[in-house]
A = this chain, B = another copy of it.
Amino acid sequence: MEVLITGAAGFIGSTLAARLASGAGLKDSLGRSFQPSRLVLCDRARAEQAPTPLAGQPQIEWRLGSIADPAFAATLVSPRTACVFHLAGIVSGAAEADFDAGLRVNLDGTRHLLEAARRAGAARAIDGLGPVRLVHASSIAVYGVPIPGRIDDDTQPWPTLSYGVQKLASELLIGDLSRRGFIDGRSLRLSGVVVRPPNPNGALSAFNSDLIRELLAGRPVVSPVSPSATIWLQSIRQTTDNLLHAMALDAAALGSQRAILLPALACRIDEIVEAIAAIAGPDSRRLVTYRPDPRIEPMFGRWPRPFTATRARRLGFGVDGDLAELVRACSAA
């Protein structure tokens, strides 16, 4: 059985692809465990450090193109596709800078992919297979500014950036197609995943990764949020654990609410700096210059804490142990 990853050349996608290539198992929508026989990796360009096929591991096929192209998207999902990790997207800053591109990729591209999955599901049903199971990387950007003073599973998401609007609309469509049995989808609301590589991908929250990466490397960094700003973080390892867990979860456990707010560590910037100083030495503190940006801090630096993603924890999703552990994981990466 095949597994498709969209956005497979990205930070999360390439890490996930490597784990699947080296034997991580999955479950299909009928609850049957399987090892993928083939990994279909979709992105606009091939990853530089892509997993290479080895004996006994899944075949790897790259498919280069944009899901915004309906004809291309239609070819991505076949009746052999049991699972789709849908990670492709234009992130916050880029979707803000180019409204049409964001809409075309994040909303229309998702529509095209869902349509392909639905059509494949209809063909699968003839062979007694379940609908295509799909995990969609959504975002806490579905909550807008001012960021609610408390966020839990009942908080009304109301995005105030185009990116969040496109993600929430995609969540709604995935929920509806799942209710109708066209697909078996689930959306995960991800927090900041660290440590992203330095290549800017246009995420307005990229300072999270910049701060940790640069300080760990002993390089100076400018923080666009104040020392007391609070952000939500998760390590890339924990994130891919949670993506794999989401794919393995029985639909019955999810019920009708197919969007899941994932747990994350809620930390202050100065706590992060202290955790890094404990590893990299006290110089870390002096390497940070604070220049709070009034456009950034209200949107990305006022996440509430404490934060408990009650439903996700009950569903078995994990969270990094503590900030020291998170920073150690970043340091080792």
Contacts and interface: CB of A to CB of B under 8 A. Distances in A.
Contacts of A175: 165
A162 B180 contact: yes
B155 A172 contact: no
Given A144-B256, A169-B173, A172-B169, A179 B157 contact: no
B165 A176 contact: yes
A176 B182 CA distance: 28
A168 interface: yes
A145 to B, nearest CB: 8
Interface in A133-184: 144, 154-160, 162, 165, 168-169, 172-173, 175-176, 179-180, 182
Contacts of A165: 172-173, 175-176
Contacts of A156: 154-157
A172 B168 contact: yes
Q: How many copies does the complex hold?
A: 2
A99 B180 contact: yes
A33 interface: no
Nearest to A148: B154
A179 B154 contact: no
A257 interface: yes
A179 B160 contact: yes
Contacts of A179: 160
Nearest to A156: B156
Contact of A257 (B157, B158, B182, B256): B158
A256 B160 CA distance: 8
Given A154-B156, A169-B173, 15 more contacts: A99-B180, A99-B182, A144-B256, A155-B156, A156-B157, A158-B257, A159-B172, A159-B176, A160-B179, A160-B256, A162-B180, A165-B172, A165-B173, A169-B169, A169-B172
22 contacts: A99-B180, A99-B182, A144-B256, A154-B156, A155-B156, A156-B156, A156-B157, A158-B257, A159-B172, A159-B176, A160-B179, A160-B256, A162-B176, A162-B180, A165-B172, A165-B173, A165-B175, A165-B176, A168-B172, A169-B169, A169-B172, A169-B173
Interface of A: 99, 144, 154-160, 162, 165, 168-169, 172-173, 175-176, 179-180, 182, 256-257
